[in-house]
C-alpha cells in the first residue's frame, strides 16, 4: 500500500492510497487517513505525491488461546454484514472474517466473560435478507439454546437488523435465554470501529438474565456504552453513526457500561430447564405501504388486490388520503387485512380524532397503537400465517405478543 500526501487548496492530507472499486468513479481517488477515515478527492482538484511504502502490521498474537471451562458457554452465529467482515485493502473487497480463533485473538477480553464457540450460518449483507433467512436463524438459535448453550449472539448486518430482531421475537417461543443481535457500523479493522465494544457488550448480555431477543449497539457516539434494545422496539435511525439504533416508543431494556448491565424497564427473566420452540409459519404475501401526497390510486389498488395483508404507514395519527378509502373498503370486503401505523415513527396512532381516521376505522382498518411500521409488517406475516379470519387477526394484531405494543396511557 502506498503512503501519499494530497494537497487540495491549502489543505494537506496524508494517508494510504486505496485501490479503486470496480464501479467507482474514475475521476476520484480515495485516501485512508491515519485516523482510519477514508476521504475521496476529485483528481483534477488535487496534487498527489508518494511519500513512502508501508507494510500492514500483523496484530495477531502468537501464543495459543485458552478458554476458561468454568465460564458459561455461548455461541456466536455469523450471518454476514460488517461485523463479520474486514476490508482487504489490497483489493478493496470486503472479506468474511469469522473464525473463533480470529474473533478471540481480536477480542481476548471476551474469554473473561464466557466460553465462546462460533459458527457461520450464512454470509449475506442484511439488505439481502428475506423471511426465509429469519426462519433459518430462528431454527438454528432454538437448536443451539436447547443443546445447552447459555445464550446466543447473532452477528448481523445493520441495514435490516431490526426486521430480523422483530421476526425472531415473534418466532421464538418459550424463550428463557438471551438472544442478542449485534452488528457494527464500521468494520473491525478501522480505528473508528464499533465492533469490539458491541461484541463485548453483547457477550455480557448473552450471559445475563435478560431472556429476550435484543439488539445491542452503541448508546452514543462515544465508545463507552451500549444500549440493550428490545427486538420489537428498535429501528436503525442513522445511515452511519455508531449509535444509529434507537428504541422507539419505549426505553431500551438497559445499558451495558463498564462491564455492568443497568436495566430501565421490566423484562423477561432467564429460567433454566426450559425448551425453546419455533413458530415460524409466515404468510409472506404482505406489503408495507407508505402514504404520501399524490400517491397513485391505481398502484395502491394493485397492491390491495395482490396481497393478503397491507400495513399502511400513514400520516400523522394514522391517516391516508380520502380518495383511497374505496380501494381499502373493497380490499377489506375481499377479506384482505389492512392495518394502520404512522410514518412519524414516534407516537401512537389515534384514528378517533379526525374524520379521515374515523372513516378508515369504520371500514375495518385496524389501528396498531404504537407499533413500529416495520414490526407491524413482520407481525402481520406471522399472524396471517395462523389465520385469515378478520376478527382473529384483529385480536392477535392488537395483542402484545413480544413487547411490540404498549398499553394506552392517558396522561391526566
Question: What amino acid positions are annotated as catalytic residues?
Answer: 82, 158-159, 236
The rounded distance, in Å, linking the Cα atoms of 117 and 249 is: 35
Site for a second copy in 59-88 (CB under 8 A): none
The rounded distance, in Å, linking the Cα atoms of 379 and 346 is: 18
Of the candidate residues 71, 94, 278, 401, the single one contacting a second copy (CB under 8 A): 94
- Beta-bridged to residue 4, according to DSSP, are 15, 50
What pairing do the DSSP bridges indicate for beta strands 115-120 and 47-53? unpaired
Of the candidate residues 263, 315, 387, 406, the single one contacting a second copy (CB under 8 A): 315
The rounded distance, in Å, linking the Cα atoms of 59 and 106 is: 8
Q: Which is nearer to a second copy, 140 or 190 (CB)?
A: 190
Q: What is the CA radius of gyration of the chain?
A: 24
Q: Cβ of 32: how many Cβ atoms within 10 Å?
A: 18
Stretch binding a second copy (CB under 8 A), from 42-50, 110-118, 251-259, 283-291: 283-291
Residue 338 interacts with a second copy (CB under 8 A): yes or no: no
Residue 307 interacts with a second copy (CB under 8 A): yes or no: yes
Stretch binding a second copy (CB under 8 A), from 129-137, 171-179, 271-279, 387-395: 129-137
Residue 139 interacts with a second copy (CB under 8 A): yes or no: no
Count of residues in the chain = 412
Q: Which is nearer to a second copy, 131 or 178 (CB)?
A: 131
What number of CA atoms fall less than 13 Å from residue 203's CA on the CB side? Answer: 26
Q: Which is nearer to a second copy, 138 or 210 (CB)?
A: 138
Residue 316 interacts with a second copy (CB under 8 A): yes or no: yes
Q: Which is nearer to a second copy, 212 or 369 (CB)?
A: 369
Q: Which is nearer to a second copy, 82 or 118 (CB)?
A: 82
Residue in the structure block whose three cell numbers are 406489503: 287
Site for a second copy in 238-257 (CB under 8 A): 238-241, 244
Stretch binding a second copy (CB under 8 A), from 49-57, 156-164, 329-337, 385-393: 156-164
* Cell numbers given for 129: 435478507
Question: C-beta of 259: minimal distance to a second copy in Å?
Answer: 29
Residues 6+ apart with CB under 8 A from 299: none
Question: C-beta of 231: minimal distance to a second copy in Å?
Answer: 15
Stretch binding a second copy (CB under 8 A), from 68-76, 200-208, 234-242, 329-337: 234-242
Residue 90 interacts with a second copy (CB under 8 A): yes or no: no
Of the candidate residues 62, 258, 272, 410, the single one contacting a second copy (CB under 8 A): 410
Site for a second copy in 340-399 (CB under 8 A): 342, 344-350, 352, 354-356, 358-359, 361-362, 374, 377, 381
Size of residue set near a second copy by CB under 8 A: 83
* Cell numbers given for 332: 377489506
What number of CA atoms fall less than 13 Å from residue 116's CA on the CB side? Answer: 31
Residues 6+ apart with CB under 8 A from 355: none
Residue 37 interacts with a second copy (CB under 8 A): yes or no: yes
Please classify residue 145 by burial: count the beta carbons closer than 10 Å to its beta carbon, then call 0-12 exposed, 13-18 middle and 19+ buried.
buried
One-character DSSP codes across 369-406: TT--HHHHHHHHHHHHTT---HHHHHHHHTS-SSS-S-
Question: C-beta of 206: minimal distance to a second copy in Å?
Answer: 24
CA distances from 77 to 16, 81, 103, 141, 229 (A): 33, 12, 12, 8, 19
Site for a second copy in 108-127 (CB under 8 A): 125-127
Residue from 367, 349, 356 nearest 324 by CA: 356
Stretch binding a second copy (CB under 8 A), from 42-50, 158-166, 210-218, 260-268: 158-166
Question: C-beta of 369: minimal distance to a second copy in Å?
Answer: 10
Q: Which is nearer to a second copy, 104 or 368 (CB)?
A: 368
Stretch binding a second copy (CB under 8 A), from 144-152, 154-162, 270-278, 330-338: 154-162
The rounded distance, in Å, linking the Cα atoms of 122 and 125 is: 10
Q: Which is nearer to a second copy, 271 or 297 (CB)?
A: 297
Positive or negative torsion for Cα 115, 121, 125, 127: negative
Amino acid at each position: 500500500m502506498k503512503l501519499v500526501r494530497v494537497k487540495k487548496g491549502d489543505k494537506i492530507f496524508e494517508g494510504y492510497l486505496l485501490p479503486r472499486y470496480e464501479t467507482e468513479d474514475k475521476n476520484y481517488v480515495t485516501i485512508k487517513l491515519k485516523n482510519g477515515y477514508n476521504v475521496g478527492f476529485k483528481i483534477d482538484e488535487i496534487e498527489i505525491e508518494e511519500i513512502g511504502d508501508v507494510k500492514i502490521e500483523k496484530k495477531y498474537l502468537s501464543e495459543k488461546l485458552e478458554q476458561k471451562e468454568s465460564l458459561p458457554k455461548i455461541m456466536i452465529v455469523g450471518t454476514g454484514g460488517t461485523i463479520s467482515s474486514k476490508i482487504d485493502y489490497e483489493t478493496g473487497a470486503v472479506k468474511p472474517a469469522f473464525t473463533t480463533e480470529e474473533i478471540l485473538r481480536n477480542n481476548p477480553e471476551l474469554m473473561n466473560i464466557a466460553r465462546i464457540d462460533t459458527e457461520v450460518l450464512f454470509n449475506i449483507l442484511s439488505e439481502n435478507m428475506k423471511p426465509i433467512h429469519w426462519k433459518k436463524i430462528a431454527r438454528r438459535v432454538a437448536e443451539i439454546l436447547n443443546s445447552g448453550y447459555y445464550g446466543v449472539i447473532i452477528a448481523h448486518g445493520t441495514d435490516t437488523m431490526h426486521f430480523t430482531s422483530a421476526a425472531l421475537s415473534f418466532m421464538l417461543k418459550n424463550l428463557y435465554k438471551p438472544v442478542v443481535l449485534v452488528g457494527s457500523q464500521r468494520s473491525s479493522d478501522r480505528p473508528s470501529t464499533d465492533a469490539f465494544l458491541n461484541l463485548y457488550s453483547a457477550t455480557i448480555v448473552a450471559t445475563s438474565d435478560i431472556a429476550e431477543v435484543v439488539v445491542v449497539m452503541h448508546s452514543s457516539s462515544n465508545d463507552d456504552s451500549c444500549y440493550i434494545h428490545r427486538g420489537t422496539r428498535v429501528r436503525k435511525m442513522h445511515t452511519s453513526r455508531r449509535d444509529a439504533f434507537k428504541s422507539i416508543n419505549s426505553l431500551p431494556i438497559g445499558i451495558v457500561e463498564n462491564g455492568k448491565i443497568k436495566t430501565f424497564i421490566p423484562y423477561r427473566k432467564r429460567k433454566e430447564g426450559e425448551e425453546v420452540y419455533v413458530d415460524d409459519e409466515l404468510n409472506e404475501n404482505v406489503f408495507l405501504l407508505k402514504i404520501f401526497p399524490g400517491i397513485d390510486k391505481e398502484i395502491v389498488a394493485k397492491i390491495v388486490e395482490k396481497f393478503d395483508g397491507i400495513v399502511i404507514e400513514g400520516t400523522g395519527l394514522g391517516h391516508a388520503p380520502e380518495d383511497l378509502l374505496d380501494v381499502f373498503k373493497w380490499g377489506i370486503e375481499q377479506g384482505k387485512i389492512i392495518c394502520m401505523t404512522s410514518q412519524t415513527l414516534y407516537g401512537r396512532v389515534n384514528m378517533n380524532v379526525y374524520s379521515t381516521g374515523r372513516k378508515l376505522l369504520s371500514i375495518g382498518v385496524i389501528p396498531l397503537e404504537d407499533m413500529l411500521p416495520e414490526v407491524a409488517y413482520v407481525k402481520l406475516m406471522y399472524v396471517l400465517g395462523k389465520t385469515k379470519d378478520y376478527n382473529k387477526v384483529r385480536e392477535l394484531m392488537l395483542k402484545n405478543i413480544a413487547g411490540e405494543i404498549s398499553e394506552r396511557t392517558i396522561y391526566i
